[in-house]
Structure 1
Amino acid sequence: MSSKITDSDLELINLGNSLGLDLVSFADLRASQEDAFVDEVRDKALEKMEKEKDNVLKNVNSFYTGSIDFMVSNEPEGKKFFLLETNGGSHRGLSIITKKQQDLLFNGYFEAIIQAVRRNIRKNEKVFVLIGVPVNDALIHEKVIMIEYLRKKFKTSGYTVKIFNTDNYDKHFKAEIVFLIADYRQLSISLSFSNNWIKYKEEEISVLIGDGITRRLKDQNFLKIMKEDFRKIKSIIVNPIFRITDDKSLTYLASFFSKSLLKKYNLRYLLFTKAYTEENLISKLEYLIKMYQKSFIIKPSGGSGGAGVMPVSKEEDSFSIKKILNDSKKEFYAKFMKDRDPYPYTIQEMADFSLINWRERKHTFDLRIYLTQRDGIIVPVGGLARIARGEYSGSLKKQEFVVNLSGYNGQIEVERGIGFSEDNCKLLDLTKEDFVNMFCIGCVLFTSIVKNYSKIINFSDWSKIID
């Protein structure tokens, strides 16, 4: 691990070389970010939300860090934004925001760990932090950067710190803060839950970073407590609302419950519902297409990287819908094997999205906003725009609208990312006020998820089409 992670692009490239990764393109994208622009947008967003306390958390142990993805539509009254998904504590793309923005984002993780330090409910003066990563993670350098930031910050504050992997972990090592980094396959056979603690090989975990850790816990008591009140769990989960961020329909439901508040920030609402079986999914799609004469998108539960996300044209019939569903499941299982169930699927109306000129061709794009907690306030950090790989022709081919930079057979295509800056506003045909509104929507939505957690997680009337 590098002992000096700095703002230098050369340092980022050297870190990549030490891990066998080529990070030159990451440095190029990071150079397209403009701190002064993002700082101004952030300040305006915080000022806009401050009057009604729209981004104030009632409980500081309910959110630490997350992100939200939007697409843009052109309306007669101006730009509107529609929600694609929220993401939890397993951030991807942190090496393409600036050092200043990274520090702000990492403060959310620091906040979780310092809460564990203050609580000291393990009673042994040791805080055990477990960090989970995907198997063969192509973005492992981002976890290295995060751990190094946290190590340096805690050491500067006078704490003793030790970092382990599963091969050299020593549970008896004396340090005030111990980090263990492991991939999800290793963790899947080592995790348990008892006495309201999540445990690694029977050792109580103070803080969990990585949504894949909690996703692999199938203990029925754990699942029951997560549904009733996750605050009863003694281990601090950096994304305790993972059941909502994993399920796109629940994210949309959260925005629906706060639509009067979010409307002032120009969030546009789309039809959505949920389907628990293949038969239910096909019948709902047939009904929606016939009723609304619109195209829709199906999205599996707990997916990432666009795996299994498929468009369904309003021209499709029952036979072709079933084929699309089979293709979706095949793609989903190719990425996640049988570790995850794609059901329940979310069905969402396909909006009329904005296009941009990129490399002399029309392309769709989305915008990702990163968020963090600071002293009980949800704060927007920064983000990036992501451009679809394929030129838009209106055919609804997947590559025309799936924008994930790591969504195609594990390839990382950083060149399709664009930083937030004055110049890139023009490319994206957005104003500074548009960015202010998106920053606000992200903060307000996560605040809403926390506030309405029980109402969202216990919602069951999915016979409805929610408009």
Structure 2
Amino acid sequence: MPELTIPELEAQILDHPQWQSHLPSRQQQDPRLLDQICTQALNLLTGVDLTLTGDSFFVGAVDVLAGQEGAFYVLEANGGSTRGFWSLPEAKIEAIYRAYGEALQWVDPDAPLIIIGHVDDDVLLYERLLLAERLRAWSGKSVRLCPYSQLVPALNFSENWVTYANQRVALLIGDGVARRHPKLSEHPCSRTLIVNRIFPLTDSKALTYHVVAEHAAELGNFGYRPLRFWEGFSEKSTLHAMKTAFESCKSILIKPHGGSGGCGLQWVTTADAIASALQKSQAEFHAKFGADRSPFPYTISETIEGRTWRWQGKPYHFDLKIYIVRQNNTLVPVGVKIRRARVPAGESTASLRTNLTYGGGLAAERAGGINPQTLEQIGLSTADVARMVAGATLLVKRLCDVH
């Protein structure tokens, strides 16, 4: 049976406008310019070994901020649950699917099941639908597509295998499932392949920032600077770390462990607001992930004054999400998406939140593609973006090296 193509799936979901919201941002992408930037980035990495020898990484992304002073800053790294890639050109989407497919080379041939987890009421479910179809065709295994709320309680851990309905799971996508299941978080190196195994590193902003700091000289070649950051392993130590941070920072950001989609992020602009900000962050985290899951350790970081994107006459903060995949056991950058914050730049946390999916909806109008006009609007050159992409690719390699 021939594989379902992206245009064929899009034709099937035309009656669902919310499933077609990726199209405007894809239409803004200049495929040739994107290819040029990715090629420039790899040229900048000449001499760097981007080979992967283990099964730690297949698909992910790095969110990067462009500072007003010209430096670049890593905000976070994302793993196998990365979403929103249908805003890229079709060739890049297929490259991401093939990267997931490379994981099949590392799974036990006798384990019969592949599971793909997704958020409840996922407005980007079509991305996972085609992934399921691809993996089923390539592997011959049974593929289950399940929302987290149903999947996590149904997973068990037996004899170093993840099991579902008494069947061994060969491949589990993505790390959003693992972070919600305590036993999977404790045993990331089970015989079940989790995409990606480096999720303990990417789930913790502090661990990611540690790697950035350790390789500051290397990353500095591409214009990156490490963020100043602190950690809090309990409520008491987090409050203490926040107070310490204010001794040298005008404002700070706090982020819980394993938060996604900006969940729990709080911008704290005065020392008097420390306790209330932490309380609000924890409440938001527990509302999304449940009362039993801990948001600790917290990462506390300095706030960087980022460049702004003027839209409808007002300045907005933005970041670049850089997609990186495994291709023939080598790391390769495949795409870039620009994300504008929810509200104009100011002193509210929402003015720093650039995630496009929240509250069951998709704010596709805040996504921008790589093209000359948009790059001019955000004040970045193709050379700037190529350096950002090169640094993000190098960071993923160093994260894999640590793992």
TM-score (norm 1): 0.81
Q: Which amino acid aligns with 1:212?
A: G
Find the counterpart in structure 2 of residue 163 from structure 1: none
Find the counterpart in structure 1 of residue 268 from structure 2: 312
Which secondary structure state, in structure 2, belongs to the residue aligned with residue 74 of structure 1?
coil
> Which of residues 18, 30, 52 in structure 2 aligns to 1:34?
30
Find the counterpart in structure 2 of residue 461 from structure 1: none
- Choose 135-144 or 208-217, whichever is displaced more: 208-217
Q: Give the Cα separation in 2 of the matches to 1:13 and 1:412.
A: 20
- Choose 333-342 or 293-302, whichever is displaced more: 333-342
> Which of residues 31, 39, 50 in structure 2 aligns to 1:43?
39
> Which of residues 15, 19, 25 in structure 2 aligns to 1:23?
19
Find the counterpart in structure 1 of residue 127 from structure 2: 142
1:198 positional shift: 1.5
> Structure 1 residues 148 and 202, CA, compared in 2 at 3 Å: closer, same or farther?
closer
Q: Which amino acid aligns with 2:51?
A: V
1:223 positional shift: 5.1
Question: Does residue 397 of the first structure (1) align with residue 348 of the second (2)?
Answer: yes
Structure 1 contact 241–450 (Cα < 8 Å) conserved: yes
Find the counterpart in structure 2 of residue 187 from structure 1: 151
> Structure 1 residues 224 and 213, CA, compared in 2 at 3 Å: closer, same or farther?
closer
Q: Give the Cα separation in 2 of the matches to 1:434 and 1:450.
A: 25
Q: Which amino acid aligns with 1:402?
A: R
1:372 positional shift: 0.5
> Which of residues 168, 179, 202 in structure 2 aligns to 1:204?
168
Find the counterpart in structure 1 of residue 381 from structure 2: 431
Q: Give the Cα separation in 2 of the matches to 1:257 and 1:16.
A: 48
Question: Does residue 66 of the first structure (1) align with residue 60 of the second (2)?
Answer: yes
Q: Which amino acid aligns with 2:43?
A: E
Structure 2 contact 132–145 (Cα < 8 Å) conserved: no
Structure 1 contact 67–86 (Cα < 8 Å) conserved: yes
Find the counterpart in structure 1 of residue 321 from structure 2: 368
Post-superposition Cα deviations, 1:231-281, rounded to whole Å, max 9, x if no partner, equal xx3211111011111111111111112222111011111110110122211
Find the counterpart in structure 1 of residue 206 from structure 2: 249
1:215 positional shift: 2.2
Question: Does residue 413 of the first structure (1) align with residue 363 of the second (2)?
Answer: yes
Q: Give the Cα separation in 2 of the matches to 1:377 and 1:326.
A: 43
Find the counterpart in structure 1 of residue 302 from structure 2: 349
Structure 1 contact 65–372 (Cα < 8 Å) conserved: yes
Which secondary structure state, in structure 2, belongs to the residue aligned with residue 50 of structure 1?
coil
Which secondary structure state, in structure 2, belongs to the residue aligned with residue 265 of structure 1?
coil
Find the counterpart in structure 2 of residue 164 from structure 1: none
Q: Give the Cα separation in 2 of the matches to 1:416 and 1:224.
A: 37
Which secondary structure state, in structure 2, belongs to the residue aligned with residue 129 of structure 1?
strand
Q: CA RMSD in A?
A: 2.0
1:296 positional shift: 0.7
1:440 positional shift: 1.2
1:224 positional shift: 5.2
Could you list the runs of 4 or more consecutive aligned residues of structure 1 that deviate by over 4 angstroms after TM superposition? 222-225
> Structure 1 residues 383 and 339, CA, compared in 2 at 3 Å: closer, same or farther?
farther
1:148 positional shift: 3.0
Structure 1 contact 63–239 (Cα < 8 Å) conserved: yes
Which secondary structure state, in structure 2, belongs to the residue aligned with residue 182 of structure 1?
strand
> Structure 1 residues 13 and 311, CA, compared in 2 at 3 Å: closer, same or farther?
farther
Find the counterpart in structure 2 of residue 56 from structure 1: 51
TM-score (norm 2): 0.94
Structure 1 contact 192–217 (Cα < 8 Å) conserved: no
Q: Any unmatched runs of 5+ in structure 2?
A: none
1:358 positional shift: 1.1
Report matched runs for 1:206-285 at 5 Å: 206-219=170-183, 225-226=187-188, 230=189, 233-285=190-242
Which secondary structure state, in structure 1, belongs to the residue aligned with residue 45 of structure 2?
helix
Q: Give the Cα separation in 1 of the matches to 2:116 and 2:4.
A: 21
Q: Which amino acid aligns with 2:150?
A: Q
Q: Among the aligned pairs, what percent are the same residue?
A: 29
Q: Give the Cα separation in 1 of the matches to 2:222 and 2:55.
A: 26
Structure 1 contact 133–182 (Cα < 8 Å) conserved: yes
1:3 positional shift: 7.1
Find the counterpart in structure 2 of residue 111 from structure 1: 102
Which secondary structure state, in structure 1, belongs to the residue aligned with residue 357 of structure 2?
coil
Q: Give the Cα separation in 2 of the matches to 1:339 and 1:32.
A: 42
Find the counterpart in structure 1 of residue 113 from structure 2: 128
Report the count of equivalent residues.
402
Which secondary structure state, in structure 1, belongs to the residue aligned with residue 163 of structure 2?
strand
Q: Any unmatched runs of 5+ in structure 1?
A: 160-175, 454-467
> Structure 1 residues 293 and 256, CA, compared in 2 at 3 Å: closer, same or farther?
closer
1:7 positional shift: 4.1
Q: Which amino acid aligns with 1:349?
A: E
Q: Give the Cα separation in 1 of the matches to 2:352 and 2:97.
A: 30
Q: Give the Cα separation in 1 of the matches to 2:344 and 2:276.
A: 24
Q: Give the Cα separation in 1 of the matches to 2:120 and 2:317.
A: 30
Q: Give the Cα separation in 2 of the matches to 1:283 and 1:252.
A: 20
- Choose 191-200 or 426-435, whichever is displaced more: 191-200
